[in-house]
Amino acid sequence: MTHAYPPTSVSSVTDSTGGSLAQALWWRLLREGFALVILFPIALGLVFELGLIIPMVSAAGGGSTMPTGGGFHGAPPTFAALGAGSPSVALSLGLAMAPVAIMLACGLAAGMAVSGIMASELNSGSVELWLSRLSPRSISRGLLTVVFLVVGVVWIAIMVVTALVLTVTALALHQEVHVSVAYVVFCVMIPLLLALSGASLAVGVGLWKPKLAQVTNGLVHGQGAWLIMIAFLPSLILGIVVMTGTSAGLSITVAAIIGAGLAVVLAILAVIIGATRLSRDNIVSSL
């Protein structure tokens, strides 16, 4: 008995929008590397969050070890500017680092998806076949569709996991948690925007300079590390800004402006590369 699977060969990918290519790549990802690309970033974010909360709870019993006057709903002043807090230092720290965990997970998922797909297809010689059937823009649309789906799945999953961790911690410590609308918007939107814009730039660079994604025996280009860095670095940069800025009273508005600004710059660079560098001749000459 045969099964009507989505196309996994470029011989069946002929539409000009890249939809069939996206379907083929998505199916291959589900069969070959979905668990790693999805679960590893989520696990990283979870370990990061728990690694901060558990030692604080163990050391201080969840109680506040800092002055609480003047903070956001009783939060220690160190964390108050983020617009989220709790009388518990452990919970306040968890709230402060929650957007960092989400950013790291989404950014890593974007990088792993881009590098994994590009490396696999380049080393199998599929890109040359793509170019014989599709325009470079259709190829980029197909790649971006799959990568955006991966990022979307990880984005939803890590937000749910992070919310559960904070909720369980709050219930266990019998502490209240207060968050502002600005904080929720920051946690929900900025990590996603950074991951999607970083992924867009990585896809553009990967098609423009395919050798950056090819798996080799050397250390410089092995495993598509450069594409992972391109997609992941913006999330890492903002994560570091939030972590280091928290002690200095970093405002959630300032953090959001920095994150949105990074996303806009990345998106502009991706559009420029797509408009000026993604020609069939350029891609073929770089293979």
Kindly tell me if the per-residue pLDDT of 76 is higher than 70: no
Kindly tell me if the per-residue pLDDT of 67 is higher than 70: no
* pLDDT at position 211: 76
Share of residues in the chain with pLDDT > 90 (%): 24
Q: Tell me the mean pLDDT in the region 36-51.
A: 83
The residues spanned by each domain of the chain are: 17-286
pLDDT tens across 89-127, in order? Answer: 777 778 888 888 999 999 999 998 888 888 777 777 777
DSSP H/E element including 178: strand 178-179
pTM: 0.81
Residue 192: count of CB within 10 angstroms of its CB? 22
Mind giving me the DSSP string for 42-84? Answer: HHHHHHHHHHHHHHHHHHHTT---S--TTSGGG--HHHHTTTE
